[in-house]
Each structure stands twice: as C-alpha cells, then as structure tokens.
Amino acid sequence: MKIICVFLYKSIKMKIISKYKDYYDYLTGIYGIDDKLILDRTEFYNSNIPIFDKKITFIICGLIIDGLFHDGKFYYGEILRTFVERRKSERRNNYHYKLLYFGADTNTVYIKTYGCKNSLAFSIKPIIDKSKFNENLDCPILIVDNLGDYELSGIRVSKFPILKDYNIQSILKPNDIYQMIYDFLSRSKDIVNNQTDKEKIIGKGFDYKHSFRNTK
C-alpha cells in the first residue's frame, strides 16, 4: 500500500502562482511542479477577519463549507456542533446560543444569538454546490462575502481567501485540499497524463509486480 501511495503522489503536480503562502503550498516541493497545470492566485481576497460573531462560508472545489467565528476562533464541522451544544444554555457576553434540529436533518445546526430575531443555519458536513460557483468563476476556492467582487445567483463571493487565516486546516488537511484543487484544475483544463504505464497500473490499485508479469 505504501508503494501505491508514492506513485499516486508523484502524479499530483501543479504550479502555484501567488503573492502569499497558504498551508498546503509546501506540497509542491514534495509532489513536484507541472507548468501545464497552474493554480493562479494573483487575484485574491485580502482576509478580513471579523471582530464579532459571524458566519463564514467557503465554496471549495464544488463543496460548501460553513463555519462560525466566535471569540477569536473559527469552528467547523463536529467541533462547531460540540461548541454549540456546550453553550446552548449558557449566557456569556450577552450571547445566548440555542441548538435546534429541524426534521431529520441532524447535519444542520441553527444558531440564534441573544437579541437576534433570525437564526443562522450552519451545515456540519460539506454540501454539494449545485450552482457550480467554482466552475462558473473558474476558481477552486471562493469565500461568500457581502462585499464580494462577484455576484452569482444573488450571492456575492470573492476569489482565493487565505485559508490558513481562517483555520480551514482544522477540517481540510493539506493533502486533501491539494488533491481537491488538482482534480478541479485537471477537469477544467485539457491536461495530458504524463504517467508511465507502470504508474497508471499502480494508480488503478493493481499489483504491478504480480498481476502484470509472468511469475512462473
């Protein structure tokens, strides 16, 4: 299994053009650079970290990921669920958190803060972006923002937020986001597969040594 992983990683190559470093960039030094597959981040969103509680939403390679900024920290996924459950009956700094589940959808947390009429809905698990925001803007990483540079379907978004500033690494590991971006760029561009026959065979999960050689 370790040999299979090595060959798979060798095929995940791309070039990153950027004015900043993000938490997955170091992987180009491991997987290598492909001048034909370029992640161009020259147009990027200058991270505007909120001061007060705020819902943060990313659209990454076809997935919508919700998070909550509270007291200087970002919460996503199950960590967000735990945070809300622990504070649903507490009163801290004039905020009252309530946890509600609507119907059978236990993957959505509805948060209502003290003095706020409307609840905010947070998806615990990433959901599929049926509007295809990433494809429409040809950008694998977007952030939803009221002052966004682009408006699609009534939603304003901006390109390439600096993910490490939002602690996205707590929910998407470097290898995961790197693979997602690579797959997105490969689908959107006509990329020639430069793998050797041996790498292609191993990449499909076969044992090259025993399955494709006469061992009599």
pLDDT per residue as tens, the chain (216 positions): 443 343 344 578 999 999 999 999 999 999 999 999 999 999 999 888 887 778 999 999 999 999 999 888 999 998 988 887 776 656 554 445 555 544 356 788 877 765 666 778 899 999 999 999 999 999 999 999 988 999 999 999 999 999 999 999 999 999 999 999 999 999 866 544 555 665 555 444 455 455 444 444
The answer on 93 and 27 residing in a single domain is no
> Do 7 and 93 have their domain in common?
no
Residues 57 and 130 in one domain: yes
CA distance 8 to 50: 39
What pLDDT, on a 0 to 100 scale, did the predictor assign at position 98? 53
Residue 53 sits in the same domain as residue 152: yes
Same domain, 35 and 119: no
* 200 and 115, same domain (yes or no): no
Do 109 and 174 share a structural domain?
A: no
Same domain, 54 and 155: yes
Q: CA 59 → CA 107, 114, 193, distances in Å?
A: 18, 28, 27
Structural domain of 206:
1-44+170-216
Q: With b meaning 16 or more CB within 10 Å and e meaning fewer, what string describes 132-151?
A: ebbeebebbbbbbbeebeee
Secondary-structure breakdown of the chain: helix, strand, coil percentages, each rounded to the nearest 5: 30, 25, 45
Q: Which of 69, 72, 58 is nearest to 22 (CA)?
A: 58
How confident is the model at residue 19, as a pLDDT? 95
Q: Are residues 55 and 29 in the same domain?
A: no
pLDDT number for residue 102: 45
Helices (H), the chain: 2-10, 28-31, 77-87, 133-137, 174-188, 197-203, 208-211
Task: Let me know whether 136 and 85 are in one domain.
Answer: yes
30 near 146, Cβ under 8 Å?
no
Domain termination site, one of 161, 181, 201: 161
Q: Are 200 and 16 in contact (CB under 8 A)?
A: no
Last residue in a domain, options 161, 186, 201:
161
**Can you tell me the distance from the alpha carbon of 162 to that of 89, in angstroms, rounded to the nearest whole number?**
34
Residue 54: per-residue pLDDT? 86
Same domain, 28 and 65: no
Specify the pLDDT at position 158: 96
pTM of the model: 0.77
pLDDT value at residue 216: 46
Query: What's the structural domain count of the chain?
Result: 2
Domain match, 56 and 152 both: yes
